[in-house]
A and B are shown apart, each in its own frame.
Chain A
Amino acid sequence: MTETQTGENSVPAPAQPTSPYGVRDQTQEHRVHLLREMLRVRRFEERCVELYSDTRIRGFLHLAIGEEACAVGTMEALTPDDAVVTTYREHGHALARGISMRSVMAELEGKLEGCSRGRGGSMHLFDATTRFYGGSAIVGGHLPLAVGLALADHMTRHHRVTACIFGDGAVEEGEFHESLNLAALWHLPVLFCCENNLYAMGTAIGRSESETDLSLKAAAYRLPSWEVDGMDVLAVEEAAREAAESVREGGGPHFLELRTYRFRAHSMYDPDRYREKSEIERWKERDPIPGLVEQLTSTGALGEGELDRMEADIATEVDDAVAFADAGTLEDVSDLERFVTSGPDDSTRASS
C-alpha cells in the first residue's frame, strides 16, 4: 500500500500483473486488433464529452476513459453465444461486444435508431442479437439477473458463459454476496468481472470496505478468483479467456478483479474533488493505450504511419456514428406507453 499525501483517499499502488497464467504469446495482428478496439472506445467517449457539452447527450453520462483494457479484454474472451450483463459505465462493453457505434450513439442521443430505441440512454444499452442484457444503473442489481441467465443455461444444458461486469461499489451491496453465494452453491456458469477502479462514485475503497482485497471476498464463496492488471489488455484477455473456458467447461462461477482506474470523473456532473490530481497523473502513466502502442511499435508490429491510419479510420467511424445519430428520428410520442407490457404485436421477443 502506498499512501497518498492526504491519507484520506489512500489507494493501493498500481497493481502489478498477477495473473497466474502469465501472458499468452498472441499474434501481433491480434494485439493490433486489441489496440484498435480500445482506441474505438476511447475516441467514442471523447466525442461523447463534446456532445454532452453541446447538450446533444443528456442525463447521466459515465465515462470509462482509462478502463478500456477491461472492456476490450473481457469481451474478447467471449463467444457470440455468451451473454453479457453489465453496469451503467458500459459504452466500452457495448462497442467491444459488437453493438454498432451508430446504434450506441443514437441511443445516447435518445433516438429511435438507438439500441434501446432511446428508452434507456447511456446507462441502459441493450441488444438482443449480441445477448447484451444491459446497462443496469442500480449498483449490484444486475448480479442476480446474471445468475438467473446462467441458471437457465445450466438447466437447459447450454454450455455458454454469462459475463457479469460491475464495479468495486457493487461489492458493498448485499446483492453481490447473495449472488456469488447462489452461483457457487448451484455451480452456475457465470464469469463475475469486477472492474475495481478504486472509487465507488466519490468514496475511495478504503473508506467503505473493511477488506479491500476483493478477490478474497469472492474466494470466501469458493469461487476461483484472482486479481488482474486491468490496465493491461493482454493480461485481462488472458485471464478472461482462462476463466471463461473454465466456466464453459463446467467449472462453475469464476471471479476476476480487474484493477483499473478511471481518468475522468464519475459522471459529467462530478466535480472530482475527492482525489488528488497527482494520483490521477500517476495512473495515467499506466494508460493502457500508449503502453500497447509503444510495445507494438518497438516490436515493429505497428508499422510506420499505421497508428495514424487507424486513428483516421476510427475518427471516420465516430463521425459517421454522430451523423447517423443526428439524422435519427425521435420516437413518436403516441408510442410512449408501448412496451410497458408486451402488446399483441410484440410476439417475437428474445425470451418468448
Chain B
Amino acid sequence: MSKVTYREAMRQAIREALQRDERVFLMGEDVGRYGGCYAVSMGLLEEFGPERIRDTPMSESAFVGAGIGAALGGLRPIVEIMTVNFSLLALDQIVNNAATLLYMSGGQFNVPLVIRMTTGAGRQLAAQHSHSLEGWYTHIPGIRVLAPATLEDARGMLWPALCDPDPVFIFEHGTLYNVEGELADDAAGADITSAAIRRRGDEATIIAYGGTLRTALDAAEQLAREGVSAEVIDLRSLRPLDTTTVVSSVVRTHRAVVVDEGWRTASLSAEVSARITEEAFYDLDAPVGRVCSAEVPMPYAKHLEEAALPKVPDIVDAVHALGA
C-alpha cells in the first residue's frame, strides 16, 4: 500500500498503459510540457517523449477526430479533453464518427479509443467549465461511459478501457484529483461493467457516481447516526448501466434516491429512476427520489455554486421524504 492522490493514481494508470502497449499514446491540450491542465500527465513527456505524449492545438474536433482515425489505423490513443464543456466542440466527431463507424461500416471498422475528460463543479469555475454533461454522452449507443469515483477506479479503469474494442469515455470529477488515500501497489485492472455497493444498508438505496459518491456516503453516515440504514451504490459505468445491481438493492430496501450533479430534466438521474420504476415498481414503498443540481448555468460566487449542487442535507431530506 502507498499513499497517493486520485491524480497520481490516474497518472500511474496512464504510465502503465504506455509501458505495456507501444500502440498507446496520449494526446490533448497541454498534456506535455504543461503537464496536463490538472497535472495528471506531469512528467510523462520526459519519460515517454513527444511522439507518445502529444501536445495538440486548441482544436478539439481535429484532435478527437485524429484519435478516432489513429484508432482505426491500429493505435490505441488516449485523448484528453480539458473539460466536458470543451468536448462539445468535438461532439461531431464523437457522435457522428466514433459512435457510428462500426455500425455504418457493417462491422468492418471499430474504434478502440479512450477519451478522458474532467467534469463537474465545485471549484468556482463558473458556467463554461463546471457542468456535468456525462449524462448526455450516456444517450449515445456505441460508446461506453465510465465515472471512476475512487482511487482504485482511477487506477484500474484505464487499462480495461484501452482493451475495449470500442470507444470508452472516462469522466473524472474535478474535485477528486486532490483526494488522497491508500492504494494497493498492484491495483490495476478494475472491472468496468458493473456498479459497486460502497456501503451496505437495508432501509433505502442512494445511487450516486463520480463526484457525488462522497456526498452520498456522507449522507448515509448522517442517516446512520439518525438510525436510518442506507445503502450506497456507485454506478461506475454510466453506459451501459448495471441495472441489476441497482434493482436488486432497491428490491431489498424498497426506497431509492438518485443523486446526480447533472441537471434533473432529461438526465441520467431520470434514466436510473425510470429503470427502477420499470423493473422494481411493486417493490417500492415510495416514488423514486432525486437530488440533482439546480437548473441554472453554474454560478461563480461560492455560496451560489454551493447552493446549486447536491449536498448532504438534500440527500438526507430526500431519504426521509420516502418515509425512512
Give the interface of A toward B (CB within 8 A): 83, 85, 114-120, 124, 126-128, 133-136, 138, 141-153, 155-156, 162, 174-175, 178-179, 181-182, 185, 338-342, 346-347, 349-352
Contact = CB atoms under 8 A, between A and B. Distances in A.
Given A145-B97, A152-B73, A117 B68 contact: no
A349 B165 contact: yes
A133 B142 CA distance: 18
Given A144-B62, A178-B62, A182-B59, A126 B73 contact: no
Contacts of B97: 136, 138, 141-142, 145
Given A134-B105, A178-B61, A182-B59, A342 B110 contact: yes
B69 A151 contact: yes
A136 B77 CA distance: 22
B313 interface: no
B109 A350 contact: yes
Interface in B226-247: none
B276 to A, nearest CB: 24
A11 to B, nearest CB: 29
B106 A116 contact: yes
A148 B67 contact: yes
B73 A151 contact: yes
Given A133-B72, A155-B25, A340-B141, A147 B65 contact: yes
A169 to B, nearest CB: 15
Of all A-B residue pairs in the complex, the 4 with the closest CB atoms, nearest first, are: A148-B69, A144-B65, A152-B73, A117-B106
Given A144-B68, A155-B51, A179 B104 contact: no
Given A182-B56, A340-B103, 18 more contacts: A116-B104, A119-B103, A120-B104, A127-B108, A141-B92, A142-B97, A144-B64, A147-B69, A148-B77, A151-B70, A151-B73, A155-B25, A175-B62, A182-B57, A341-B144, A342-B166, A349-B108, A350-B109
Nearest to B66: A148
Contacts, number: 168
Contact of B106 (A120, A141, A148, A149): A120
B75 A138 contact: no
Q: Considering residues A83, A155, A175, which has the most beta carbons from chain B within 10 angstroms of its beta carbon? A: A155
Given A136-B97, A141-B92, A146-B69, A351 B74 contact: yes
A341 B98 CA distance: 11
B64 to A, nearest CB: 7
A110 to B, nearest CB: 11
A175 B59 CA distance: 8
B106 to A, nearest CB: 3
Contact of B69 (A119, A149, A349): A149
Contact of A341 (B63, B72, B102, B109): B102
Contact of A152 (B72, B102, B111): B72
Contact of B62 (A138, A150, A179, A352): A179
B96 interface: yes
Nearest to B71: A351
Contacts of B74: 152, 156, 351
B65 to A, nearest CB: 2
Interface string B43-55: 0000000010000
Contacts of A120: 104-106
B148 interface: no
15 contacts: A114-B106, A117-B106, A126-B109, A136-B97, A141-B92, A144-B65, A145-B72, A148-B66, A155-B70, A156-B75, A175-B61, A178-B61, A178-B62, A181-B62, A341-B144
A148 B61 contact: no
Contacts of A181: 57, 59, 62
